[in-house]
Structure 1
Amino acid sequence: MLKFEDLKGANVELTFGPNQHRIESRHVLVVIKHNDRWLLTKHRIRGIEFPGGKAEAGEMIEQAAIRETLEETGVTIDNVHSFAEYVVFTDPPFCKAVFTGNVVHVERDYTLLETEGAVWMTDAELAACTELSFHMKDRGMGELRKWVEAND
Structure 2
Amino acid sequence: MSTPLSSDIISQFLAYDFVNDEQFKTASSTWNRQLEGKSEVQKQEIETQGTVSFFNLKYGTTVKWEEALARLRGVDLPIETESQEEDPQQLSIADLQVILEGGDTSQIPNNKAIPVGLNADAPSASTAPIRKKPWEKESIATQ
Do both proteins adopt the same fold according to a TM-score greater than 0.5, normalized to the shorter chain? no
TM-score scaled to structure 1, two decimals?
Answer: 0.24
- Scaled by the length of structure 2, what TM-score is found? 0.25
Structure of greater Rg: 2
More helix by share: 2
